[in-house]
Amino acid sequence: MANMSSSKDIKEVWQYLQTGFNEMFAVYTLCTAESQDIKKLSGGCTNHTSAGETVYYLVVNIIKEHLKNVGTLLSSLSGTELIETYIKQWEKNTNAVKYAKNIFSYLSRHCIARMNEEGNEVVSIADLFPKHWLTEVVPKVGAKVSVEIQKLVDQKRQGMNVPEIGLVKAVAESYDQIQEACKYMVASGDKIFKTHFLNMIVKDAAAFYKPVASSFCDEMDAFAINFETEIWVKQEKQIATDILGEKHIAQYKELLLHTLQ
């Protein structure tokens, strides 16, 4: 279908939409029809699973190609703009995949389950998004995103006002969601939050506090050191809350203490 101009009236818009609905219902009918109707509907295909597989892999390819473009877009950005756009794209595509899940729900009911029963190990429409975000977006921009996150967190540790710190937590939540969805699907999918976010934050904290602690130990008495350490602990706990949320604070504390030993 051609692109729809925003200046069209409601009748023209509806005609445009109706064409899409008709095509969607035709695909649904093809993929869910009884066996005696399949040959007539599919031009000779005698297995409606085959028709469903065709549609499924078309959806896979659309998502992959779309996320490749998202990765290319993000890779051209830097600074806070990169983090802001990353979150906007994540949220936009997360919402979009909810609609795709509903539109193609018949694939889950009639095709995906059967494909898995036959040993094909395919994932749901909903899980296609985090799976291919991990393979198509993260490799292109993961390192750049980490650098920008480090800058924001370092500014926070130095006592600066950092309004953008909420963006860091949003990135952390995206990695956490990807990890949860991909832990059984993609190699290293079960480690993305730890490898791309948590370890980086821990390493950065250790690099910040070790030199400062060393210089203070040379110059200050035990009372002053304990007082200063208490301030650091409170500060780091607040930073951890700001960027991780309660869910991962215990894990972060354990890793940080291990690193500082």
Angstrom distance (rounded) from CA 86 to CA 149:
12
pLDDT at 231 over 70: no
Angstrom distance (rounded) from CA 31 to CA 49:
7
Q: Which of 83-87, 107-111, 152-156, 191-195 shows the highest mean pLDDT?
A: 83-87
* Range scoring the smallest mean pLDDT among 128-132, 161-165, 229-233: 229-233
| Cα atoms in the 13 Å half-sphere on the side-chain side of 68 | 6
Higher pLDDT, 237 or 4: 237
Query: Do residues 104 and 55 make contact, with C-beta atoms less than 8 angstroms apart?
Result: yes
Higher pLDDT, 206 or 162: 162
171-172-174-176 Cα dihedral, nearest 10 degrees: 170
* Range scoring the smallest mean pLDDT among 61-75, 190-204, 223-237: 223-237
pLDDT at 184 over 60: yes
Q: Smallest Cα–Cα separation from 133: which of 76, 198, 86? A: 86
User: The pTM is what?
Assistant: 0.73
Q: Enumerate long-range contacts of 44-51, CB under 8 Å, 24 or more apart.
A: 48/110, 49/111, 49/114, 49/115
DSSP assignment, residue 186?
S
